[in-house]
Structure 1
């Protein structure tokens, strides 16, 4: 796939190691030349964001929400269609100036703003109260994964928010987990959390292997399958051997595609629901002396 599509697939920010399984170096170099992708000093690639700062400057506001998440290099389910800007509650902004901008009004404490952009913790908190749950979790997981903020930092900001949206934001923060490797895994974990009887933990070590999600009680492994992680014969062989080993240890492996997780979550949810029913039935048989737990 082309470099821009690959970057979107990776959540809007990625290193070459993350991109090379999806695109080639020539395509990335071309995207850099065209300016549709930019390279940061620390070696990661991202989408350009000059228009986000420009929009905030024109409104005398602060870059916030997903626009601020882009600034901080956070990964997300989908990039913002328009710049997100926060202005003081008393600021009057004509309709013509609001066009093409996602505008929010709030009183931002000085400690929540850094060089015209909401702080990392405030960015996560705002996304948590403004975005759908799965999109907000992607941002929060990414922030925790960066280790630049902790859950305590996020909780402290959330409790200072206006009452509207505060409980919603706290729910996102409590669910967030920095062990999730990317937005694909974050969204899969959100879907799994909606399935009764399933307790999926991210990045679980099983013997010599690490899996994306696992329910230890049900011995159920849930994998977010991406072309990026099967870009060579060696990686493909390693995965096949890993799944075979898990089967010998009586684990069932469910593998889900990016397209289904991101665009057909009901299909994933139904499959997980049926798997839970099957595994619970097997465990009941084993407990009563019937067929062994498989």
Structure 2
């Protein structure tokens, strides 16, 4: 049996996570409300005291990598960019970069020892592309779309829209005007981005789904079930009757939440929807398997529709 499909041997105790680990899982930045289900108050307070987590303002927490990136960029006369810039803007990312990501102008020589401390991108930045030593929100989204894998870039673009640092119209205009290497990938990110995804978990699941031909899973589509009660699944293909859920039960440990989740799942299935649920670990670390499930789900749904159409033609 494939190890990716084996059930866990013990129950995951996320309520015991260290604050910095929980913050990485949540995208590098989070509110107290987002951290509460995962981290005890005393552990969070201790992490702040030790400098493992920063609290720039009450109720808001982020990883110290943000300050590290700013300090290194200042040392190099560089600009904080890519995912480091996304974090500096307060956005969530799929993966917190292991080293600060900064941009220097063409021709700048960086010592080998310094390069080991940073991921250095060489690019020409205009004055309008930089604010307070960091690439502007729109330039950050475009750079991530140009230089990062699709799922990483989509998580950044979704978060940028969700924070309202950029508007859909900004991305639409940039998609029309962008030029240079990697343009098709940049346009794909800009035109696929949606502020409806709640977190990088959902963004990455959508990125995987967008790679499945014939599947049209759209975020946060309302569905009426159980006599008109409205539910809003994470991703819905209305034409094929498929629902894909980024199953975040680990973030909601109460029994009332479990009861609501079970009710929602059962009502969707009874209404004829094919519901597929994916955990954080599967989406973030087993993308090939998740994609294979969605490929099979698309084929199964189409085969079912064709069978029903054939049966109807003989009725």
**TM-score (norm: length of structure 2):** 0.87
Matched, 1:218 2:240: yes
Cα distance in 2 between the residues matched to 1:152 and 1:109? 21
Structure 1 unaligned blocks of 5 or more: none
Matched, 1:118 2:140: no
Matched, 1:279 2:279: no
Partner of 1:257: 279
Q: Is the 8 A contact 2:249 2:258 kept in 1?
A: no
Q: Is the 8 A contact 1:159 1:166 kept in 2?
A: no
Cα distance in 2 between the residues matched to 1:211 and 1:221? 7
Q: Is the 8 A contact 1:211 1:223 kept in 2?
A: yes
Structure 2 unaligned blocks of 5 or more: 1-16, 225-229
Cα distance in 1 between the residues matched to 2:79 and 2:24? 25
SS in 1 for 2:208: helix
Partner of 1:69: 86
Correspondent of 1:101 among 118, 124, 133: 118
Matched, 1:5 2:21: yes
Matched, 1:200 2:222: no
Aligned-pair distance for 1:223?
0.4
Deviations 1:82-127 (A, max 9, x none): 1111122232333333231111222211111111111111111111
Correspondent of 1:175 among 188, 192, 195: 192
Q: Is the 8 A contact 1:19 1:228 kept in 2?
A: no
RMSD of the alignment, in Å?
1.9
Deviations 1:237-280 (A, max 9, x none): 11111111112211121100111111111111111112222211
Aligned-pair distance for 1:69?
0.9
Partner of 2:4: none
Q: Is the 8 A contact 1:6 1:19 kept in 2?
A: yes
Distance 1:183 1:282, change over 3 A: same
Distance 1:46 1:190, change over 3 A: same
Output aligned runs, 1:38-53, within 5 Å: 38-41=54-57, 43-48=59-64, 49-53=66-70
**TM-score (norm: length of structure 1):** 0.93
Cα distance in 2 between the residues matched to 1:171 and 1:70? 22
Cα distance in 1 between the residues matched to 2:241 and 2:63? 40
Output aligned runs, 1:122-271, within 5 Å: 122-157=139-174, 163-207=180-224, 208-271=230-293
Deviations 1:171-201 (A, max 9, x none): 2111111111111111111111122221100
Aligned-pair distance for 1:67?
1.1
SS in 1 for 2:289: helix
Aligned-pair distance for 1:228?
4.1
